[in-house]
C-alpha cells in the first residue's frame, strides 16, 4: 500500500487510485491508415519492466484526474508524479 502524491490533491493512500497501465502511448490520429501490425503495436504491446516504469494513474476515489507516475516496479518507490500532457522528468 503505497502513498501517491496526486498532483491535484496531494498525498493519498494507494487505495484511492486506479492504475491505468503504461504511460505515453498516444492514440494514433489516423488509425485507418495504419497496417494491422502498426495498430496491434498501439493496441496490445505494453512494456513490463522490472525497474523504472512510466505509468498512468487515476485518482478515481478523489478528484478523478489522470496523471503520470514514474515508479520503480522492483520496490514501488515513486520517483516522480506529473500531469497529463507534461513531459516526463529526466530519468
Using the rule CB under 5 A, is 8 a contact of Zn ion? yes
Answer for which of 3, 9, 19, 84 binds Zn ion (CB under 5 A) is 9
Using the rule CB under 8 A, is 21 a contact of another protein? no
Distance CA 23, CA 12 (A): 20
Distance CA 39, CA 29 (A): 11
Instruction: Select 49 or 73, whichever has its Cβ closest to another protein.
Output: 73
What's the min distance (Å) between Cβ of 7 and Zn ion? Answer: 7
Residue 76: which of 59, 53, 56 has the closest Cα? 53
Using the rule CB under 8 A, is 49 a contact of another protein? no
In a 3-state reduction of DSSP, which class is residue 75? coil
Using the rule CB under 8 A, is 3 a contact of another protein? yes
Distance CA 10, CA 32 (A): 40
Using the rule CB under 8 A, is 64 a contact of another protein? yes
Amino acid at each position: 500500500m503505497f502513498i501517491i502524491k496526486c498532483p491535484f490533491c496531494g498525498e493519498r493512500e494507494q487505495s484511492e487510485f486506479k492504475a491505468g497501465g503504461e504511460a505515453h502511448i498516444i492514440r494514433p490520429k489516423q488509425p485507418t491508415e495504419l497496417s494491422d501490425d502498426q495498430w496491434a503495436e498501439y493496441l496490445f504491446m505494453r512494456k513490463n519492466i522490472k525497474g523504472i516504469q512510466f505509468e498512468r494513474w487515476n485518482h478515481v476515489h478523489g478528484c478523478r484526474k489522470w496523471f503520470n507516475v514514474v515508479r520503480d516496479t522492483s520496490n514501488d518507490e515513486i520517483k516522480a508524479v506529473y500531469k497529463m500532457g507534461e513531459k516526463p522528468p529526466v530519468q
